[in-house]
């Protein structure tokens, strides 16, 4: 809800001011996602989930597993995305990415802002909120499988609402399930690295496609 409110408020205001809707969305991400994560941390504390439960481990093995998992997840997610686009046709692809292609043409600075917001800030804050806190609370209350699945469904629903699109639901749901499993098996640091690899790959591919 907090992300949605920031998305509607900040993105529309900044987008109108700069004449670039996508930049408005990115600024809303840079501001709204950390605020949403902070509220989630406060919620976690109220239900007994503190920093020792978040699952962060920063040893080299965990980070390496995150990068390896990220590379494999990119193949899985883009494979599903390709099948989805093939079945849905051009309209599905445009619905998933077309809204930002023209805005990226504004210049390299938009791509850099995209990488910062989507490739760094979003994965770090979302993994803290969703896998570190929400999944931890749900797994404790409902059990491992149910906790991971409910977290993945809620995460996917949030993206569908925020993006105002159902086109990416299959890929987001699979990504969310993978992130949930990785978080359980290797911790939130590993799931954050996986998330960053997937998002930065999408940023890089879109930037290359638009900017050449």
How far is Cα of residue 92 from the mean position of the Cα atoms in its chain?
20
**pLDDT > 70 in the chain, percent:** 79
| Position 20 confidence tier, pLDDT thresholds 50, 70, 90 | low
**Which residues neighbour 79 within 8 Å (Cβ) at sequence distance 6 or greater?**
none
d(CA 17, CA 209): 26
pLDDT at res. 208: 80
When pLDDT is averaged across residues 61-88 and rounded to a whole number, the result is 88
At residue 150, what are phi and psi to the nearest 5 degrees?
A: -60, -45
User: What is the model's pTM?
Assistant: 0.88
175 within 8 A of 160, measured Cβ to Cβ = no
Number of H helices, E strands in the chain: 11, 0
pLDDT at res. 197: 97
End-to-end CA distance of the chain: 36
Dihedral (CA of 6, 10, 15, 20) sign: negative
When pLDDT is averaged across residues 16-41 and rounded to a whole number, the result is 80
pLDDT at res. 86: 74
pLDDT in tens, 76-95: 998 987 887 677 654 444 44
| Nearest CA among 175, 212, 191 for reference residue 74 | 175
Whole-number average pLDDT of the chain: 84
108: its two tokens: 């390299």
pLDDT in tens, 124-152: 999 999 999 999 999 999 999 999 999 99
49 within 8 A of 35, measured Cβ to Cβ = no
Q: Regarding predicted confidence, which is higher, 11 or 130?
A: 130
pLDDT at res. 209: 75
pLDDT at res. 13: 59
When pLDDT is averaged across residues 107-131 and rounded to a whole number, the result is 92
pLDDT in tens, 34-58: 988 999 999 999 999 999 999 999 8
């Amino acid at each position: 809800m907090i992300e949605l409110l920031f998305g509607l408020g900040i993105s529309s205001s900044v987008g109108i001011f700069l004449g670039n809707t996508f930049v408005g969305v990115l600024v809303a991400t840079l501001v709204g996602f950390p605020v949403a994560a902070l509220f989630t941390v406060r919620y976690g504390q109220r239900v007994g989930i503190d920093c020792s439960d978040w699952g962060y481990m920063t040893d080299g093995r965990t980070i390496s597993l995150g990068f390896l998992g990220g590379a494999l997840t990119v193949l899985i997610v883009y494979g599903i995305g390709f099948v989805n686009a093939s079945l849905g046709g051009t309209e599905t692809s445009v619905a998933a990415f077309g809204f930002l292609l023209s805005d990226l043409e504004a210049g390299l600075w938009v791509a850099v802002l995209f990488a910062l917001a989507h490739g760094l800030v979003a994965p770090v804050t979302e993994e803290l909120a969703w896998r570190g806190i929400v999944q931890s609370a749900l797994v404790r209350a409902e059990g491992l499988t149910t906790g991971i699945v409910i977290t993945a469904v809620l995460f996917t629903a949030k993206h569908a609402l925020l993006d105002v699109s159902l086109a990416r639901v299959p890929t987001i749901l699979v990504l969310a399930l993978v992130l949930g499993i990785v978080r359980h098996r290797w911790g939130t640091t590993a799931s954050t690295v996986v998330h960053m690899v997937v998002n930065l790959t999408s940023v890089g591919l879109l930037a290359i496609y638009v900017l050449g």
